[in-house]
Structure 1
Amino acid sequence: MTAVLRDVTLRDGLQLTGKVLPTGRKAEIVRHLLALGVPELEIGSMARPDLVPPMANTLDLVAALTPAELQHCWLWVATPRHVEKALAAGVRNFQYCLSVSDAHNTANIGRTAEASVAAMPAAIRLAQEAGGSIQLCLATSFTCPFDGPVDPARVLAIAADPRTAGATDIVLADTLGQAHPAQVSALVTAVREQTPQRRIVFHGHDTWGMGVANTLAAIAAGAGMVDGSLGGLGGCPFAPGASGNTASEDILFATRPDWFTPASLAAMVGLTEDLLAELGEPNRSRTAEGARSKAAAFEWVAR
C-alpha cells in the first residue's frame, strides 16, 4: 500500500523557530515543493500570532497563492471561527485539531477536548457548504506531556463520535514522538476497523528515533497520507519534550513515490539547507546527510 506525503514545514515545522519567515519566502517554498512533486502541503495555522509568532502571516501567504496552488494546501484550525476567517481568505482544506488529552488541549487550545468536539459540527458545516474538505486531527493520540500514556479507547471514542462524522480524513498524531511501530500499527488498525471509513493520516515526530519506522508501520496498517517536514524541522510549543517532525526527505527515501528521483532529492536537500540556514536550525534528516556523503557510486548522492 502506498501513501502520499504531506509536507508540514510551513506550519508544524516553523512553530518553534520563533521567527516569522517573510510571506514571499513562504510562497517560494510552496511553489518549489509543488514543482518537485510533493502532492500535499500544510502551509500555516490560525493560532493566535502572539502565542505562535511564526504563523502571523498565514493569511498573507494564502492571499499570495493561486486557487490551483491552494488545492494542495491545508490550514490548521481549532474553532468554527477559524474556518470562517480562512474560508473568506480562500482556503478550502482544513485540519481541525484537538488533543485527545484534556490537559494538552487546554494548554494548546484553551478548552477541554469535549468542548472542541462539540464545536466541530459547525466547522464541518462551514467547510462543506463552501465545497471544502476538513480533517479531524487528534493530537496526543499516543502520549500526553502532562498525563502520560493515552488510552486508545479515548482515541476511538472521538473518532467514532457522530459529531466528527463529517471529516474526510482522520489524523493520528504522535505529538511527542514517543510511540513505537507496534503501537502505531495497532492504533491505525483499530481506527480503520472500528470507526467510520475515511482516509487515515499519520503525523509523526522523531524525538526517540522512531519517526520513519512509525511512518512505515502506519502505511502498512492502512494510512493513506503521512506528514513530514524538511530537515525534520518542528515541534509543538505547548508540548514539553516534543522535537522535530519526521524528515520529509527520510520518508520519501524510504517510500520512493514515482515522482521522487535522485534529482528531486538533490533539489529538496538544497532547499532544506538554505531554509535551515536562514532559521539557524539544525538539519535532522539522515537522508540529507547521506546525500552529501562522498559515496559517489550511489545514485542518490547529490553531486
Structure 2
Amino acid sequence: MTASPSTPPTGSQAPARAVAVRDVALRDGLQLTEGRLSTGSKVDLVRTLLGLGIPELEVGSMARPDLVPALADTLEVIGALDEAERDRCWVWVATPGHVRRAADAGVRRFQYCLSVTDEHNTANIGRSTETSMEALPEALEAAAVVGGTVQLCLATTFTCPITGPVDPDRVLGLVADPRGEGTVDVVLADTLGQAHPRQVSELIAAAVDPAADRRIVFHGHDTWGMGVPNTLAAVAAGATMVDAALGGLGGCPFAPGASGNTATEDVLFALQPDWLDPQRFHQLIAAGDRMLAQLGETSRSRASAGAHGNGRQFAWTLPQD
C-alpha cells in the first residue's frame, strides 16, 4: 500500500485536532507483570485516572483466569464501580459468551478482539480470524440487550509474531467487513511495536473511509522506541483515540518480543489535551509511581523521568522538596 497525495505528513508535531487518550494499564499493562494489584487498588486507580480527566480506560479482560491471572478479578472491579464510572471503562472480550457474562456483571463497554492473522488468533483465543468475525454479530446482539457498545479491536495489524509482516489489504478488509456494522470504534493495534510512523500514517489514513462513522483508535507499543512518534502519526492521519499505559507497562503473553505499551505520561505530554495542566500531570505521575511500586515494576516513561529531574524552571517538573 502506498500513501496517497492527501496522506497527512508524519512527524513529531502534535496535530491540533482533539484526541482522546485511553489508559490501558489495568488490562494490557498488567498481562505480563509478576506483581499483582489488589481489587481495591485497581478501583482506586480507576477513580484517580477518571478524576484527573482521562476520558476512557481499559480495566480488565474476560480471558481465562489461568492464562491471565492478573485480570481474574475483572468482574469484581466492575462491580465496585458506579454506573457513570462503568460507562467510561472497556473490558476485553473475544466471544459472545464473554459479552453475556460481562454484561450480567454490569459491563457496558465491550472491546471485541481478534487478530488479523489466523496463526496469532489461534494462539491467542483458540480460533481462526474468520470464526471470530462470524461470531461478531451475535456479540453485538448480546451487547445491545443491555444497551452496551462494542469496539472491533484488530490485533497484529502491522506484524505477527508467528508469520511476520501483515498485508494491509487484509486489515482493511476486516475494517470494511459488514459483520462489523454496529461496532462504534475500530482499534488498530501495533501489537509487537514494530511499526514505524510512515506505516502507521498510511494504514490509519486508508482505514478512515471503510471505518465510516466509527472512531479509529490506535494502540501502540514502544518496543522499537516509536511509541510516541507512531501515536502522533496516527492522530495526524485520522485516529481520534489512542491507547497508552501508565509507566509504559504491557505486552502480550502470546506475542513474544512485544514490550510495554506507549507510556500514558509520554503521550499526554506530547498531545497536551486541554484538560491537562502541570498540577494534574504531577498527580498522574504520582499515581503511576504508586502503581509501579505495588507491582515491583520500573517506569519506562521518559516524561516521568523528566518530571522527576532537576528542571526547576520548567512547570512540568515535579516540585522539589
TM-score range, shorter chain: over 0.9
| 1:165 and 1:196 in contact (8 A); partners too | no
1:285 and 2:301 correspond: yes
User: Paired residues, what number?
Assistant: 303
Structure 1: distance between partners of 2:211 and 2:44:
39
CA distance in 2, matches of 1:235, 1:7: 14
Equivalent residue number for residue 181 of structure 1: 197
Hey, what's the Cα distance between the residues in 2 that align with 1:261 and 1:209? 25
**Structure 2 partner of 1:10:** 26
In 1, the alpha carbon distance for the partners of 2:278 and 2:121 equals 41
Partners in 2 of 1:26 and 1:218 — Cα distance? Answer: 29
Q: Counterpart in 2 of 1:301?
A: 317
- 1:90 deviates by 0.5
Aligned counterpart, 1:224:
240
The answer on whether the counterparts of 2:35 and 2:296 sit within 8 Å (CA) in structure 1 is no
| TM alignment of 1:124-135, pairs within 5 A | 124-135=140-151
Q: Distance in 2 between matches of 1:63 and 1:302?
A: 35
1:254 aligns with 2:270: yes
2:35 and 2:294 in contact (8 A); partners too: no
CA RMSD of aligned residues (A): 0.8
Helix, strand or coil: the match of 2:267? helix
> Which segments of 5 or more consecutive residues in structure 2 lack a partner in the other structure?
1-16
Question: What is the DSSP-based 3-state SS (H/G/I as helix, E as strand, rest coil) of the residue aligned with 2:22?
Answer: strand
Shift of 1:74: 0.4
Pairwise CA distance, 1:195: 4.0
Measure the CA separation in 2 of the matches of 1:296 and 1:37. 25
User: Which residue of 102, 105, 120 maps to 2:136?
Assistant: 120
Is this contact kept in 2: 1:19–1:53, CA < 8 A?
A: no
2:101 is matched with which residue? 85
Paired residue type of 2:165: P
After the TM superposition, which residues 1-303 of structure 1 pair with which residues of structure 2 at under 5 Å, given as runs?
1-303=17-319
1:163-195 deviation line (CA, Å, top 9, x unaligned): 111111000000000000110010011110244
Per the TM alignment, residue 160 of structure 1 is displaced from its structure 2 partner at its CA by 1.0
Pairwise CA distance, 1:20: 3.5
Distance 1:183 1:127 in 2: 33
8 Å CA contact 2:265, 2:301 repeated in 1: yes
Gap runs ≥5 in structure 1 = none
Per-residue CA distance 1:17-50 (angstroms, 9 max, x = gap): 1344211010000011011111100000000000
Aligned amino acid, residue 88 of structure 2: H
Which protein, 1 or 2, shows the higher relative CO under an 8 Å CA cutoff with sep ≥ 6? 2
**% identical equivalent positions:** 61
